[in-house]
Structure 1
Amino acid sequence: MKLVHVHNDYFNLDLLKEILSDGNAVRESAECFAVFSDEVRVQIFMLLCHTKQCVLNIADFMEMTAPAVSHHLKILKDAELIESWRDGKEVFYSASDSEKGRTMHEIIERLMKTNCPDFETKHEKINEHSEFQDRQIETVKKVHDFMCEHISERFTIEDLARRFGMNTTTLKTVFKDVYGTSLASHIKEHRMEKAAELLAKTDLSISEVALQVGYESQGKFSATFKEFYNMIPSEYKKEKR
């Protein structure tokens, strides 16, 4: 069969041949795409592009067994697409912050014709277009930071209003406008997130964790924690250990 040579004024075929003759580069590219020939690995990789998870959490998310997840994680890690580190007894995984990892993330996102969701938690989002005065907005931000720094203490709205020199009604109104929820609800989220962190990473007892996040009553703390995590603190602690 006679080969037909098509003339191309816009690309140097010799240069292309030189690029493609680099066997290692071509093989590495092919192996990288081969990793994603399995849709489960695509899902796990995209999960780890946005969250840091342990095997059990990934298994629960994927509705798979832990050994099956570990198999896919090994393939992704061998391809240098994810990385892992140990925190106490648990090993956590996340997507590699490398050119390869970022590129594959972008390619998959484009092929799926979607934009990945914003994984910021609700309390970290601030209404930057609030119509209240700048000084009022700065004041409620200071109130927010103060409450987060003193998460184990309890303050009434009157205490905070006096401390920061703002009318109680104005404080509540501006806070909700800036953070999207009431001050009490917002700080409760912070308390439960801190509690979850302490339960997972320390040897503190349930009552000690409750005190650390501002609850003198262990029963009330447990009830509130269950509202957020659908399990009582002792179950959560056992699961994370």
Structure 2
Amino acid sequence: MKRDVRSFLSGCLVTAVAISLTGTVAATVAQKTLTADYNNIKVTLDGQSVNLVDANGAAVEPFAVSGTTYLPVRAVANALGLNVAWDGNTQTVVLTSGNNTSENSSNNIGDYYVTVDSAKTTEDRDGNPVMIVTCTWTNNSDETTSAVMSLIARAYQNGVELDSAYMIDDFDSNTMTNLRPGASTQVQYAFELDGSSSAVEFEVFEAFTAGDTGSVTKTFTVG
């Protein structure tokens, strides 16, 4: 199903990005004024509700024009684990999955394979809101290493990086556990939320590379 949705995105979402919130669409040689209808349109993926947010974590809403529904490109791409960029020279929305030859290739980060499994909202011992993100990582390098030495994890809310939370209960970081080459384990990362209900954008990439070897990202709702 995910591949079908990606085919849909590549075929029609490029059109959607050209329509502004005021309902004006730019054609090749002219402009045309349209009426955009907002009817609280929702999106689900494999039966799960998708929280559509922009790059700053603000909610964005799909709309319909003359019976055709348009979805926000960046929000849907993030929900599907796709990278999205805008090429202003060619007026093109560029969607990539890291490596088009494999469904799971975007989970490869340098010498490691990482999946972002889940997230839950809880509280620290002082009652402050915290999000705990659980990942599974596989050491595909030829050396024994740990997640704390191999990966960098960050989270953003409203476009601002969140501080790491120091948890005692209901938390098993496991990031200092060494793995032999080929072994896998789950690790957890905890972040202090800013107190709002805005979505959290989580990313993990290889240490000492500034993300040059790729990254895995996922957006989570708060609550």
TM-score by length of 1: 0.24
Looking at both structures, which has the greater relative contact order when contacts are Cα pairs under 8 Å and sequence separation is at least 6?
2
TM-score by length of 2: 0.25
Greater fraction helix? 1
